[in-house]
Every structure is written in C-alpha cells, then in structure tokens.
Amino acid sequence: MKTITLILSIFLSSLNFLSAEISEKNNFDITIHVKGLVCDFCARSVEKTFSKTEVVERIKVDLDKGLIELQLTEGSTLSDKKIQKLIKASGYALESIERNK
Amino acid sequence: MIILKKSFFRLLLAIILTQATICILEARPISYPNSWTVMQQYNWEKTTVHIHYSPNAKNSIGFLGAYYEKEKDRLYSLQWNHLIFRKNQKKSQSNLYSKIHLGRLNKEISQTNVFHSAFNLSYDWETRKHFLLYAAEVEYTDDIGLKSTTFHQKARIGIAPYVAPYGKLHTWVMLQFEHHPDDSDSDNHFILTPMLRFFKGDYLCEIGLNSNNQILFNSIIRF
C-alpha cells in the first residue's frame, strides 16, 4: 500500500510539474526568432534591451532555438516595428515574429 | 577550513573584479547599448586594463591603460572600438571590428612621455561550438628622435566541448597563435598559447600557458 501511495504521489507531482511547464510556455505573448544569437553575451544584450521596455514583464532567451519569448504587462502591446527596432539596437537580426495570443 | 575556502574564493573574485580583460576585446570589444565593460589582460608582454562605455551596439569608447613588463613603460590612452560589419545568421555570427587608441606612453628608460597610437582590425566568426578570430595591429610610437612602427598579428581557434544553455557555465578550449616580427627577442616572434575560456552571464575569464612557459590570464565584466 505504501509503495502504491509513493508511486501515485510521484506520478501526481510529475503531472503537476508538467502542467506548470505548459502553463509557463503559454504565458508568453510573443515569440521572436532571431539571427545571430550564439553566445551568452548576445542573449544578455537582447535581454537587457527588452527589459528596459516598460511593456515587457518577462523575457526568456533560448540560445539553442535562437528565440526570445516575451510576456507583456496586462493589456499592453508591442508592435512588430518596435520589436524589429529593439532587435536591431541589440545588434542582431530579426527572422520572424509569432503572436501567441 | 570553511573560512580558508571563503577567503580563497573572495581573493579569486577580487582578482577577477579588480583586474577586470582584453580577451573578449579580441572578439567582442563592444557591449549592449548603454553598458559598461571592464577588461583586463595579463600576458608575457603587458598588463592591460580597459574601461569602456558602449552608447550603442556599434561603438564603444573608453580608457586603455597598459604596463609593459620588459620596458617598464606605462601607457595611458583613449580607445574607440567600432563594429564595421556584422553578419547575423541562424547558427552563427561574424564581425569585423576596428580599434584605435591614442595616448601617452611614459618611457621608463628616458623618463619621457611620448605619443603612442595603434590601429587594429579584427575579424571573428562564432557558432555555439566553434570560434575563429584573426586580428592585425599596427602600433606607432613617436619617441624623441626615434619614430617606430611595429606590426603584430594573432589568430585564435576555439571549440566548446559541450553546449551550455543561457546563464550556465560555458567552457571553451582555445589555441592562440601570435606573430610579433618586430619584437627584439626572437623567442617572441611566434608564440602559441593553449587556453581555457570560462564564461557565465556577464563574467568571463581565460587562463593559458604559452610556448615560452608564460602565463596568460584575462577577465571581463559587463554591467
């Protein structure tokens, strides 16, 4: 019985972890594909540049996939033109923009 | 034991912070807009400190100070770094930089201050696993009655043994080739330096030992 309870607990906590992951992924409003993101300094550069923008609440940089994910503050927007300008100011090149919401 | 360990790490951090790198200056002399970079280099030839401000992603300006071990000369100068060209690709990035410094060289032997300048062009190409660099520099010294121009060039290749995600510790194994044809000591005409580069967040350091058994230590902080 103890073993079953333990297995069930592990299973449930895994589900919980998985749902948290999915929920976090869905929280990002914009996914930006960027060219030239090859090192931590590059990632740091775009992170700092976007963080200074008031409408950006949270930013996640994925070097492996060469993308930036943005969560905006409630009710705010960020135009494609502004995104392109910020990427260029960071020193990189914009590939594409996906709107998740 | 714990106190000793803490003291050691504090000392190590202090060395990195206070001696803050030229190494990435070899590759990335400019940081993100409105940021500062403090760099330090220690090698067979000199100890160098750079303090730079990047107003944008294409330029940085700042102070360059150097102490030449052999001659005991001191350099105080202003440096301007400029990104001439950058090619951003999906999995790689390449850059062409120019660096110019103009300053005053305090000559120990003659106890005089002379004009000193240098122009450097460097090209680098980097992916998450591979790194290549070539840099050439011409230095000019206007000594009293003795004007001299010297040429140096260097190349680097690097491989990352593993690919770390953003924010984790990145490690590079690198090999640097230096050519100093104008150096008075023939042992310094060709120098080979195997080195390790460690890189995490805004901090970077490099440790190496050259073919003349001399240590190289570089570090960088960005903020």
Q: Is the minimum CB–CB distance between A98 and chain B shorter than 8 Å?
A: no
B209 — pLDDT class (breaks 50, 70, 90): very high
Instruction: Give the tens place of pLDDT for each residue, B88-133.
Output: 999 999 999 999 999 999 988 888 899 999 999 999 999 999 999 9
pTM for the structure as a whole: 0.78
Task: Kindly list the structural domains of chain A, giving each domain's residue range(s) and its CATH number in brackets, ordered by start.
Answer: 28-99 (3.30.70.100)
Interface A–B counts its CB contacts (< 8 A) at 70
Rounded to whole angstroms, the Cα distance separating B41 from B26 reads 11
Q: Report the chain B residue with the minimal C-alpha distance to residue A68.
A: B166
State which amino acid sits at residue A77.
T
On the CB side of A100, how many CA atoms lie within 13 Å of its CA?
15
A20 — pLDDT class (breaks 50, 70, 90): very low
Task: Kindly list the structural domains of chain B, giving each domain's residue range(s) and its CATH number in brackets, ordered by start.
Answer: 2-222 (2.40.160)
Q: Report the chain B residue with the minimal C-alpha distance to residue A95.
A: B90
Out of B58, B90, B202, the one facing A66 most closely (by C-beta) is B90
DSSP state string for B65-114: EEEETTT--EEEEEEEEEEEEEEE-SS-EEEEEEEEEEEEEEETTTTEEE
